[in-house]
Amino acid sequence: MLPEHDPVTENDLIAYVDDQLEPARRIAVAGWLAGQPQKAAQVMADLRIKDELRLALLLDEPPLLSETRKAAHRLERALLRGRIVSRLRQVAAVVLLIGAGWVGNEILEPLAVTPSVASAPAPAFVEDAMRAHGTSVIRAAMASQPEAPEYDPDEIRSMTAIVMPSLPDDWHIKDVQIFPSQFGPSVELEAEADELGPVSLFAVRPGSFDVVKPTIAPGEEASAAYFQVGEVAYALVSSGDIQELNHTAERLAETLY
């Protein structure tokens, strides 16, 4: 039971569905829902829709494109309840575009291996990622700036609400730092990868909800492969091979679904 001065709000319920609450608050909201059958039913319906959309985004076989549409239509019907309307409409549109674009690409270009390269200016968070990468390179060369290789993704999520992807087994973490950015706290992780060599993974909450598949932003000394899953955006920065950079970013993105 929650005290009267700490009521459950719609934002709490949205964050509960998005799995963005701290453990103590999530337990408190779950206890409140136990005494609110109607609200609990709505939340369970939203959780089911979220899982259907995640599944739809993973479908990459052409015959299953209709399932993507069905998931989006079920989402539209859920919007009639009037809850989290703007955000869920964005997800519905993204699902239809991703389903049509990604699956269509498999049909029309089954042998294509060229990574997607940004034809428009990269998002602003990519500039922050490149700046953080440059700062990390300077830190690594300074004896007075010790590296902090301890990596705790659960603590990062608890303190910043940033969900980190599962890292490849061949990564050797060298440094993990919380950096300021124009969007708030960000995570800068430096590692040594067998295929790419030195890499940095930047993660931040850019203030918008979107699904963006890995896209290459070429640079002179290093390039970035950026992507977004929900409310968190990521940029993988390396001076290694662009094809391998894009492939690694795709592997990281897949772990978030």
Contact 192, 171 (CB under 8 A): yes
Contact 182, 128 (CB under 8 A): yes
pTM of the model: 0.54
- Domain match, 103 and 172 both: no
- pLDDT tens digits for 179-211? 888 888 999 999 998 888 889 999 999 988 888
- pLDDT tens digits for 12-32? 888 888 778 888 888 888 888
- Higher-confidence position of 178 and 134: 178
Q: What is the mean pLDDT of the chain?
A: 76
Total domain count, the chain: 2
- Domain match, 99 and 176 both: no
Range among 54-68, 152-166, 180-194 with highest mean pLDDT value: 152-166
Asked whether residue 87 is domain-assigned, the answer is yes
Containing structural domain, residue 41: 10-108
- Domain match, 149 and 206 both: yes
For the cut 90, the answer to whether the pLDDT of residue 129 exceeds it is: no
DSSP state of 9: -
Q: What is the mean pLDDT of residues 230-249?
A: 92
- Higher-confidence position of 179 and 114: 179
Please report the pLDDT score of residue 108 as a whole number.
Answer: 45
Please report the pLDDT score of residue 11 as a whole number.
Answer: 80
Asked whether residue 115 is domain-assigned, the answer is no
- Domain match, 235 and 183 both: yes
For the cut 70, the answer to whether the pLDDT of residue 58 exceeds it is: no
Q: What is the mean pLDDT of residues 239-257?
A: 92
- Domain match, 249 and 184 both: yes
Residue owning tokens 């970013």: 249
Please report the pLDDT score of residue 248 as a whole number.
Answer: 94
CATH number where 146 lies:
3.40.1000
- Domain match, 192 and 128 both: yes
- Domain match, 90 and 141 both: no
Asked whether residue 119 is domain-assigned, the answer is no
User: Which range among 51-60, 153-162, 163-172 shows the weakest confidence by mean pLDDT?
Assistant: 51-60
- Domain match, 132 and 21 both: no
Structure tokens at 63: 């015959």
Of 253, 201, 202, 200, give the one whose Cα is nearest residue 230.
253
DSSP state of 117: B
Please report the pLDDT score of residue 247 as a whole number.
Answer: 93
- Domain match, 157 and 240 both: yes
Beta strands in the chain (DSSP E): 171-179, 186-193, 197-204, 210-217, 223-230, 232-238
> 233: Cβ–Cβ under 8 A, 6 or more apart, which residues?
123, 125, 203, 204, 205, 206, 210, 212, 226, 227
Residue owning tokens 């608050």: 25
Buried b (16+ CB within 10 A) or exposed e, 176-209: bbebebeeebbbbbbbebeebebbbbbbbbbeeb
Asked whether residue 2 is domain-assigned, the answer is no
- Domain match, 70 and 181 both: no
- Domain match, 145 and 220 both: yes
Contact 217, 226 (CB under 8 A): yes
Please report the pLDDT score of residue 1 as a whole number.
Answer: 47
